[in-house]
Amino acid sequence: MRPPMPIALTHEISPRIGECELTHLERVSIDVDLAVRQHAVYRALLVECGFEVIELSVNRDYPDSTFIEDTAVVVEEIAVLCRMGAPSRRGEVKGVEPVLGRYRPLARIAAPGTLEGGDVL
């Protein structure tokens, strides 16, 4: 019996991506159409690598929502829901939580702790 196909959660590009969080860079204009095309290539490569790709749109109003890897740290046994350092991003976790809950038991980082999954990826 073949093991189940691995799953990759992605999130569509927010139309507000130009308002994304910046810490160490100067803000420059983001070509949203180009970002959408690049994201489509990324999803296609995941499929080519054998992943079932699930694309979410639950956090469209969050400029950084395409960086879905920041919302949780997922390992075989559990998904740890993050509490992101930027208060403007914390609502993203709520949108992703029900989807992750279909695949893993959930735990969460409690205040005052902060963690972004992309930082430990």
Q: How far apart are CA 86 and CA 102, in angstroms?
A: 26
Cβ-proximal residues to 46 (8 Å cutoff; 6+ apart), any chain? 8, 10, 53
pLDDT of res. 2:
53
pLDDT of res. 121:
65
pLDDT digits (tens, 9 = 90+) for 74-106: 999 999 999 999 999 999 999 999 999 999 999
pTM of the model: 0.89
Q: DSSP letter string over 43-98?
A: HHHHHHTTPEEEEE-TTTTSTTTT-GGGSEEE-SS-EEE---SSGGGTHHHHHHHH
Give the pLDDT band (50/70/90) at residue 35.
very high
Q: Calculate mean pLDDT across residues 106-113.
A: 98
pLDDT of res. 89:
96
List C-alpha distances in Å: 11 to 4, 83, 95: 22, 18, 11
pLDDT digits (tens, 9 = 90+) for 37-84: 999 999 999 999 999 999 999 999 999 999 999 999 999 999 999 999
pLDDT of res. 5:
81
What is residue 20's DSSP assignment? Answer: -
- Residue 100's nearest CA partner among 13, 22, 7 is 7
